[in-house]
Structure formats: structure tokens, C-alpha cells
């Protein structure tokens, strides 16, 4: 009886605790809704300034979460959808309540291609005649690149401007492996397939240095060309400023016409008031891009019956369901089959932002896209990355459109397996295997890699590489030899990829949609987005499921954005399974 009483008491306690939590969540939401307005949405006041803050994670596609706990805790508000940002800026052009845009962000938590897309949309916004002003306590290069589009740029009087050219850093682990007896067994195809280079050498190869130098120069040329147009300078002048750090402080930056003045924030806000046509003593009405999107301005309204489907493939490619953070074959196959069955959808745009991943999943998705292409025009739009597996799923499209700063190509494959044989020996650990057949035991991390296992994996990698190259050759109308000469795991920018035939033209997502519409011969259409991610309600209520939703957020807060990115990359690399067609590392260009 005592046991039953304790059990019932425990159950009752859980029920009461759950009820209290739900009550608190409802109270929080009610309070938030009352603070925002009757419908719980932010409102746009007259004479408002749209404030462009981009410190939240920018994803090409950030659909509203179906996880009730994420919604209750507002965890899905920690990211912005690029498509929504661009639509919001487009809507602001004709919104009489919006007088102009203020770029006021310390960091841009997105890639260079995404930043370029936003900047291009701001160039278009200026055609409305409305103002764009920019301010920051300090400027990093990506932030300055975006802000350079403004009519005037201002910085805090004690701030700094980082303008010195692009660079990246790669860590090498070979000496560490030798010292501690933990190594990665590597099997690859492609002299440029530098994904595994840090594990087999302690310095950068000439081939890797060649490709990195090439795409950094290509990206830098794009950035300074855009900046030069906006600041009425030449690329040559900007290179001199970068070489000699002639914008390192406000005085030098003003002297060299990189910024227009040094102001404190209150002085900058006074300029915003004047530009908005209100008195300097009046209250400045600002609305952030996130809140503006929440009012419904993150989409373009249309009554057209014909549709163009934009199918988003973002993140690493892994075997599984897939969600907004990684590409799984299940979600994409489901989306593509829905798209094919919908007679109102006249064409498909696959928006790719991926460094690649599983070669198997890449080929599964490639097949589904091939079936889609047979029924409807298929255009690929490339974002920050469409490399290796990301290019694999792109290569069969009717047309491929890339941003100038997209990193693509990387046509190559590798296998990488951890081995702790030396470490185990130092610790006095010995592993013994028993099996029924010659090959039944397979690979053991506690034993040296055998020639037999190495040859078997090498054969698989060679077969997959040949398949990859053949897929590209078929899709791009090239010979195997032509593709092989620009493959070998080498990465290219969008500009370089147009020159070598891997990409058809340069442009953004909007341009890709226009290409798709032309191929489908439709002029009046609206955009519909896929996949539609849904979470089973029961999954959300599994033990501690709601804690998982906030775990990543807490880690990011503790580590900081840069350290969190490093943590995430290492974690993802440690979870790789099967033969990979992927980028070596998500390069942090700074």
C-alpha cells in the first residue's frame, strides 16, 4: 500500500507540475500579446524607420516551427529567413509608413552570398527614393560591405573599421594524432579534396593553397567592385586602403572617404529623425526587420493561380528525415512528389545552401530531382554553398544560377574512419576479434587498417567518384574528361563556375525564379515554399523534448557565436557516416 501511495503521489505531482508549466506559458504568451497588440503582432507606426539588425542566424528558409515548446519559449525567433528579409525590403519600398532604412547591426550572422543578396535588394530599394543610413560602434568587413550601400555611413567616434582583405584559417591535426595515438584513416579521390588534409599532414598542400587563394581573390573582387560603385571609388583605391589599413580608425576612414562621419548614437538618431521628416524633439519610430516580418511583410501577396515552387535544401546532407537544419532524403522526396502532383505548380526552383555530406543520400535526391525535371522545368539557385554533395544534387537541373560569391564544385569523395590502435596500445588495451568468415569481422578502431579493408573502401570511393562525374557530365553536357579536369575536389566561386561550365549564369534567388518562369512560359505567378516541416505532437512531449529545443540556444549563449560555430562543425564532423561528398570544412572567411 505504501508503494501505491508513493506512486500515486508521484503521478499527481507530475500532473500538477505540468499544469503549472502550461499555465505559466499561457500567461507569458498572453502578456506578450497584450504588449504587442490585440492580435499579438507588432504594429507599424507612421513615419517609421525600418531597422536592419542581422545578428540572428540567417537561414535561406526559416519556416515557423511546429514544435509547441519552441513556439511557447519563442526559440524559433532566433533566426531570420533570407526569403523573408528580401520580401520585407521589397514591401518597404511601397509602404508609406516606412520612410527609410537604418542599417545598425554589429554582426551579420549569415554567409557572404546571403549578405550580397540582401545588399542587392537594398540597391533596388534605393530606387524608391527613400533613404538608407548606416551606423555601427565598429565595422567588421562583412558589415561594412553591407553598409556601404547606404547614402551615408557613420561610426562611433571611438570605433574602428576593419578593412584589410579576406583571409581564412585551417587547423591541422597530424602532429596531434601522432603524439596521442588517435588518428583518422583517410581514403579519398581528388587532389583538391582537402576535407581530409588536416588529418594526414601538418601543413597546407600547394593544391589546397592554390584553390583557397583563387576563391578568396574572386570573392574579394566582387566585394570591392560593389563597394567601389557605392562609394565612388575604384577597386584599385580600395586595395591600397586595405593594404595600408587606411580605414582603421574614424579619422582615416573619413579622410579616405570610406565613411561620412563619426557620431554618437543619439546624434545618429537625430539624423534619422530629420531624414524621416519629423522634429528632432519627437520620438523616433523604429521597427526591426524581424518585427516588420511578423506584421506579414515577410511575404509577397499575389492572387495569381499559377505557382513556382521553391524547394529549400539547406544544411549538411545526411540519411534521414531532414528538417530546416539538415538535408534528409525523406523530406525532400515528399516535397518533390507533392510539387509534381500539383498542376498549378508550373516550375521548380531548388535553393541549395549545403557543403554536401552523404554520397548515398545525394544520389537518392539526385534521382528524385531527375524525375521532377522530366515533368517540370527545374532551376537551381545556389546560396553560400552548393559544394560536393550540394553540387551533386544541383548538376542535373535545367539551368543553374549562382551568386557571384557562392562556393561550389568540390566534385570529389572521401571516407574517413577513426583509429585508436596506438592509443589503446599505450593504455594496455588489446582487442581480439572472432568471426565466421574471412571478411566478417570487418574494420576495428582498435586494430591497424588492413590492406583488404582499405582496398574495398577505395574501390567504393572510386566507383562513387565515377558516378558523380558521370552525373555532372550528363547534366552539364560535358564529357567525363572535361568534368574530371575541373573536379578532383576543387572548389570554385560562382564567377569561376560560370567560366568553367559548372554554372549557367550569375544571379540571386529572384533571378532563378524568373528563369524558371520563362522556361515554364508563365508571367503571372506566385511563390510557394517547400518542404513543409511538421513535428508529431507526441514527439514534442517525449521526456525532456522541450529541453532539447533550448539546449543549442544555451550552448550558443555560453560559447559565443564564433566558438559555437567551431563546436557545431566539430560535432557534425564526428558524426559523419559512410562515404562523403562534402566540403572539407565550412570555411570562415574574415
Query: Residue ranges of the chain with pLDDT lower than 70?
Result: 1-40, 65-77, 190-195, 535-579, 582-588, 590
Q: Give the model's pLDDT for residue 82.
A: 96
Q: Give the model's pLDDT for residue 412.
A: 86
Cα angle value 471/477/480 (rounded, 5°): 55
506 Cβ neighbours under 8 A, 6+ residues apart: 401, 402, 403, 404, 494, 495, 498
Crossing angle of helices 82-94 and 509-520, in 10° steps, is 90
> Active site includes 388?
yes
pTM attached to this predicted model: 0.84
Q: Give the model's pLDDT for residue 21.
A: 54
The number of residues making up the chain comes to 590
Which of these, 185, 172, 207, lies nearest to 489 by C-alpha position?
207
Residues forming beta bridges with residue 581, ordered by sequence position? 357
Q: Give the model's pLDDT for residue 461.
A: 87
Could you give the CA distance from residue 94 to residue 108 in angstroms, rounded to a whole number?
A: 26
Q: Give the model's pLDDT for residue 177.
A: 83
Extents of the domains making up the chain: 48-164+245-297, 307-412+471-582
Q: Give the model's pLDDT for residue 76.
A: 52
Could you give the CA distance from residue 141 to residue 162 in angstroms, rounded to a whole number?
A: 6
Alpha helices in 379-508 (DSSP H): 389-392, 421-426, 451-476, 480-486, 494-500
148, 388, 394, 410: which is the annotated catalytic residue?
Answer: 388
User: Which residue bears the cell 573582387?
Assistant: 221
- Residues 369, 345: contact at Cβ < 8 Å? no
User: Which residue bears the cell 498542376?
Assistant: 343
Q: Tell me the fold of 307-412+471-582.
A: 2-enoyl-CoA Hydratase; Chain A, domain 1 (3.90.226)
> Active site includes 458?
no
Dmax (CA) for the chain in angstroms is 87
Q: Give the model's pLDDT for residue 363.
A: 96
Q: Give the model's pLDDT for residue 32.
A: 45
- Residues 47, 337: contact at Cβ < 8 Å? no
59, 193, 271, 399: which is the annotated catalytic residue?
Answer: 193
Could you give the CA distance from residue 66 to residue 529 in angstroms, rounded to a whole number?
A: 16
- If residue 340 lies in a helix (H) or strand (E), which one and from where to where? helix 329-341
Q: Give the model's pLDDT for residue 174.
A: 85
Give the β-pairing of 580-582 and 356-358.
Answer: antiparallel
Q: Which triple of cell numbers denotes residue 423? A: 592509443
Same fold flag, 48-164+245-297 and 307-412+471-582 = yes
CATH code for the domain defined by 48-164+245-297: 3.90.226.10
Q: What is the pLDDT of residues 106-151, one digit of tens each?
A: 989 999 999 999 999 999 999 999 999 999 999 999 999 999 999 9
Q: Give the model's pLDDT for residue 8.
A: 56
Could you give the CA distance from residue 535 to residue 182 in angstroms, rounded to a whole number?
A: 39
Amino acid at each position: 500500500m505504501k508503494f501505491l501511495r508513493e506512486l500515486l503521489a508521484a503521478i499527481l505531482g507530475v500532473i500538477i507540475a505540468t499544469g503549472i508549466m502550461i499555465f505559466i506559458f499561457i500567461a507569458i504568451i498572453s502578456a506578450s500579446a497584450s504588449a504587442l497588440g490585440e492580435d499579438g503582432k507588432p504594429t507599424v507606426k507612421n513615419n517609421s524607420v525600418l531597422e536592419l539588425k542581422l545578428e540572428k542566424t540567417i537561414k535561406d528558409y526559416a519556416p515557423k516551427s511546429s514544435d509547441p515548446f519552441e513556439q511557447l519559449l519563442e526559440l524559433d525567433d532566433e533566426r531570420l529567413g533570407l526569403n523573408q528579409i528580401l520580401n520585407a525590403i521589397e514591401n518597404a519600398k511601397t509602404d508609406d509608413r516606412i520612410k527609410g532604412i537604418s542599417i545598425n547591426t554589429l554582426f551579420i550572422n549569415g554567409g557572404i552570398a546571403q549578405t550580397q543578396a540582401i545588399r542587392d535588394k537594398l540597391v533596388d530599394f534605393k530606387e524608391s527614393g527613400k533613404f538608407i543610413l548606416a551606423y555601427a560602434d565598429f565595422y567588421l568587413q562583412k558589415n561594412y560591405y553591407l553598409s556601404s550601400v547606404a547614402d551615408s555611413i557613420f561610426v562611433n567616434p571611438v570605433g574602428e573599421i576593419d578593412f584589410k582583405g579576406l583571409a581564412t584559417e585551417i587547423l591541422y591535426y597530424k602532429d596531434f594524432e601522432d603524439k596521442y595515438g588517435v588518428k583518422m584513416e583517410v581514403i579519398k579521390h581528388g587532389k583538391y579534396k582537402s576535407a581530409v588534409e588536416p588529418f594526414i599532414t601538418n601543413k597546407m598542400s600547394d593544391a589546397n593553397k592554390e584553390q583557397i587563394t583563387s576563391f578568396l581573390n574572386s570573392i574579394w573582387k566582387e566585394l570591392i567592385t560593389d563597394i567601389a560603385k557605392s562609394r565612388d571609388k575604384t577597386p584599385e583605391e580600395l586595395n591600397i586602403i586595405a593594404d595600408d589599413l587606411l580605414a582603421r580608425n574614424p579619422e582615416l576612414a573619413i579622410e579616405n572617404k570610406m565613411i561620412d562621419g563619426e557620431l554618437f548614437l543619439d546624434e545618429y538618431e537625430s539624423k534619422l529623425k530629420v531624414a524621416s521628416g519629423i522634429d528632432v524633439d519627437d520620438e523616433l519610430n523604429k521597427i526591426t526587420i524581424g518585427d516588420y516580418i511578423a506584421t506579414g511583410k515577410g511575404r509577397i501577396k499575389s492572387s495569381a493561380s499559377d505557382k513556382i515552387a521553391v524547394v529549400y535544401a539547406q544544411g549538411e546532407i545526411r540519411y534521414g528525415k531532414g528538417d530546416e537544419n539538415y538535408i534528409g532524403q525523406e523530406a525532400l522526396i515528399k516535397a518533390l512528389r507533392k510539387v509534381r502532383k500539383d498542376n498549378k505548380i508550373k516550375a521548380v526552383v531548388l535553393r541549395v545552401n549545403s557543403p554536401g555530406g552523404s554520397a548515398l543520400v545525394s544520389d537518392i535526391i539526385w534521382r528524385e530531382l531527375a524525375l521532377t525535371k522530366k515533368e517540370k522545368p527545374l532551376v537551381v539557385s545556389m546560396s553560400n554553398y552548393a559544394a560536393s554533395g550540394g553540387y551533386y544534387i544541383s548538376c542535373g537541373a535545367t539551368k543553374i544560377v549562382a551568386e557571384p560569391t557562392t562556393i561550389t564544385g568540390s566534385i570529389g569523395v572521401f571516407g574517413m574512419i577513426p583509429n585508436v590502435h596506438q592509443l589503446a596500445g599505450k593504455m594496455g588495451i588489446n582487442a581480439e576479434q572472432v568471426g565466421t568468415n574471412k571478411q566478417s569481422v570487418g574494420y576495428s578502431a582498435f586494430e591497424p587498417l588492413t590492406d583488404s579493408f582499405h582496398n574495398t573502401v577505395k574501390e567504393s570511393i572510386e566507383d562513387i567518384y565515377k558516378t558523380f562525374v558521370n552525373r555532372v557530365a550528363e547534366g552539364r553536357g560535358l564529357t567525363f574528361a572535361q568534368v574530371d579536369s575541373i573536379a578532383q575536389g576543387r572548389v570554385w566561386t560562382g564567377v569561376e563556375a560560370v567560366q568553367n561550365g559548372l554554372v549557367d549564369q550569375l544571379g540571386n534567388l529572384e533571378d532563378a525564379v524568373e528563369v524558371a518562369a520563362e522556361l515554364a512560359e508563365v508571367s503571372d505567378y506566385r511563390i510557394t515554399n517547400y518542404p513543409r516541416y511538421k513535428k508529431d505532437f507526441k514527439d514534442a512531449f517525449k521526456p525532456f523534448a522541450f529541453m532539447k529545443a533550448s539546449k543549442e540556444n544555451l550552448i550558443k549563449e555560453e560559447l559565443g557565436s564564433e566558438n559555437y560555430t567551431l563546436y557545431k562543425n566539430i560535432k557534425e564532423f564526428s558524426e559523419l557516416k559512410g562515404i562523403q561528398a562534402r566540403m572539407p570544412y565550412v570555411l570562415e572567411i574574415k
